[in-house]
Amino acid sequence: MRLIVGLGNPGPGHAGNRHNIGFMAVDRIVHRHRFAAPKSRFDGYLQEGEIAGERALALRPLTYMNESGRSVAAAARFYKIPPEDVLVIHDEIDLVPGKLRVKRGGGAGGHNGLRSIDQHLGPDYWRIRLGVGHPGVAELVKAYVLQDFLAEERPGVVRFVEAVAEAFPLLLASLDRNDPTRFISKVHVLVNPPPPKPKREPPSEPPAEGSD
């Protein structure tokens, strides 16, 4: 069984924030794969379901970002899910919108949600990093991630998280091989579909003999 975690901050005031793209992605995953209704457990919303025949839990901690680890570790302990079967979806300022990276283990990279999970669970879990862009100045990062996506960005964000949800079975199937390449490629194609091929016109028939 896998534990899929989306990181964000609770409350309607944060719903559209860049920092909440993890919540947005899990929302689409549970909707697409028809998980059960959410229950209030482990200081968060927990939902059960299956993805491509594999049982999974989806968790959105309601502890605020800085305390996400308490919720994640409590759920993992209760269900006896090891860190290598925990997948955490979060925002990444060092990737442009629409880009993602997947990695098991590593550092928190300044992300307070990851830092909290590292403290409570250890670092050996999967991180699905969804790009939200960078403001260009380090001093503006904190305010930037707590701002809503701009109106012109929102259609792309919706397409991005829908793509993650659609391709998610490929990620689960790849974890034992430690090779999420197919998942990443599928998301990229869904976010950036190739232009349609131009229709080939049928060859024109030569004029009939004797015609003017």
CATH number of 2-191: 3.40.50.1470
pLDDT (0 to 100) of residue 81: 98
pLDDT (0 to 100) of residue 73: 98
Active site residue 19: yes
Q: Which of 19, 33, 90, 111 is catalytic?
A: 19
Domain ranges of the chain: 2-191
Residue 120: partners with Cβ closer than 8 Å, 6 or more residues away: 69, 70, 72, 73
Q: Give the residue among 8, 6, 29, 28 at the shortest CA–CA distance from 19.
A: 8
> The tokens 């999970």 sit on which residue?
117
Residue 41: partners with Cβ closer than 8 Å, 6 or more residues away: 75
pLDDT (0 to 100) of residue 55: 96
- Residue pLDDT tens, the chain, 212 long: 999 999 999 999 999 999 999 999 999 999 999 999 999 999 999 999 999 999 999 999 999 999 999 999 999 999 999 999 999 999 999 999 999 999 999 989 889 999 999 999 999 999 999 999 999 999 999 999 999 999 999 999 999 999 999 999 999 999 988 899 999 999 999 999 888 777 777 776 666 666 55
| pTM recorded for the entire structure | 0.91
pLDDT (0 to 100) of residue 188: 96
